[in-house]
């Protein structure tokens, strides 16, 4: 059922895309089912340590993003139909994620996949036009071979058609370990489809028994979506319940330890 909904959503997205001038080559239109299959096959795949150039002309290495989840959006700067609204929607989702998790807990990278034309200057113009201002958000592109290899790792589908590109609107969440964690489809995806996997990637993988690790586990459980407000919040009832459960476990563990010591030395 979920798979069918995804295929339908991607199909609608592809059907509604307009093409942009600048490319003469023509390939077959994308098959929504194959798009989904290719994207799903990328889950768990390592993203290579590719070298890119950001919108300021500075070199950028994907290895530098290890240690935090990375949100990757894919656009081409000549696009005026799908990429701008997708980026606007992503800005709102990123702002909400920054409010909930903190902007220092993840990074965002917009990649121009039109390697011939997505120059630093055009990426800067795109960022300015869209109002991308977050400090944890950069834009970059690379040479054609690097872009093709990166898109393969991400399971991203596109085709060069008469007048532009036919492509899926895909935002990919990469885990702190550099592996593809979850693709998110569409230019107006529901907020939960973005925040929930990002929450998992930020909080759900923590296994540390340090205070920060324990707090992350509590936040993972207690950060919930409020449909009335249309935003995320901390459910303090769940926080209180988690604290009581943790204290109960400590007391029970202490009782077992005391009994073990008593019977062991009897």
> Does residue 214 lie in a domain region?
no
The pLDDT of residue 219 is: 65
Residue 87 to residue 76: CA distance in whole angstroms: 11
Convert the pLDDT of each residue in 184-220 to its tens digit: 999 999 999 999 999 999 987 554 545 555 565 566 5
Asked if residue 193 belongs to a domain, the reply is yes
Grade residue 259 by pLDDT with cuts at 50, 70 and 90.
Answer: low
Domain of residue 141: give its range: 2-205
76/122 same-domain check: yes
Q: Tell me, yes or no, whether 230 lies in a domain.
A: no
Q: Does residue 23 form part of some domain?
A: yes
Q: What is the mean pLDDT of residues 65-71?
A: 96
Q: Show which of 205, 220, 255 is a domain's final residue.
A: 205
Question: Considering its fold, how many domains does the chain have in total?
Answer: 2
Both 128 and 191 in a single domain? Answer: yes
- Mark which of 167, 185, 205 sits at the end of a domain: 205
Among 63-67, 72-76, 219-223, name the one with the lowest average pLDDT. Answer: 219-223
The per-residue pLDDT for 165 is 85
For residues 200 and 241, state if they share a domain.
no
For residues 199 and 257, membership in a common domain is answered with no
Give the C-alpha separation, 154 to 62, whole Å: 13
The H or E element spanning position 53 is strand 51-54
* 218 domain-assigned: no
Same domain for 126 and 20?
A: yes
The 10s digit of each residue's pLDDT in 124-171 is: 999 999 999 999 999 999 999 999 999 999 999 998 876 678 888 999
| Mean pLDDT value of segment 79-85 | 91
Contacts of 115 (CB under 8 A, 6+ apart): 141, 142, 143, 144, 146, 147
227 lies in some domain: no
pTM score of the predicted model:
0.75
Q: What is the mean pLDDT of residues 58-75?
A: 96
Which tokens go with 69?
């989840």
- Indicate whether 210 belongs to any domain: no
The pLDDT, as a whole number, for residue 164 is 73
**70 and 139 share one domain:** yes
Examine residue 213 and state whether it is found in any structural domain, yes or no: no
């Amino acid at each position: 059922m979920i798979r069918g909904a995804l295929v339908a959503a991607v199909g609608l997205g592809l059907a509604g895309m307009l093409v942009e001038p600048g490319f003469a080559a023509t390939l077959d239109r994308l098959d929504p089912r194959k798009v989904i299959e290719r994207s799903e096959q990328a889950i768990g795949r390592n993203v290579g340590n590719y070298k890119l150039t950001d919108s300021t002309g500075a070199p950028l290495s994907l290895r530098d993003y290890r240690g935090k989840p990375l949100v990757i959006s894919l656009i081409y700067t000549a696009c005026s139909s799908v990429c701008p609204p997708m980026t606007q929607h992503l800005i709102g989702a990123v702002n909400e994620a920054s409010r909930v998790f903190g902007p220092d807990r993840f990074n965002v990278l917009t990649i121009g996949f039109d390697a011939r034309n997505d120059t630093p200057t055009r990426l800067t113009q795109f960022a300015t036009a869209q109002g991308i201002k977050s400090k944890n958000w950069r834009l970059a592109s690379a040479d054609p071979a690097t872009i093709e290899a990166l898109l393969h790792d991400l399971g991203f589908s596109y085709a060069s058609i008469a007048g532009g590109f036919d492509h899926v609107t895909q935002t990919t969440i990469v885990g702190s370990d550099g592996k593809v964690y979850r693709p998110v489809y569409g230019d107006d995806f529901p907020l939960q489809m973005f925040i929930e996997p990002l929450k998992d990637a930020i909080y759900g993988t923590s296994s540390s028994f340090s205070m920060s690790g324990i707090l992350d586990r509590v936040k993972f459980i207690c950060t919930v979506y409020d449909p009335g407000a249309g935003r995320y919040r901390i459910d303090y009832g769940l926080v209180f319940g988690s604290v009581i459960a943790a204290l109960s476990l400590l007391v029970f563990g202490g009782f077992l330890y005391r009994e073990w010591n008593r019977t062991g030395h009897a």
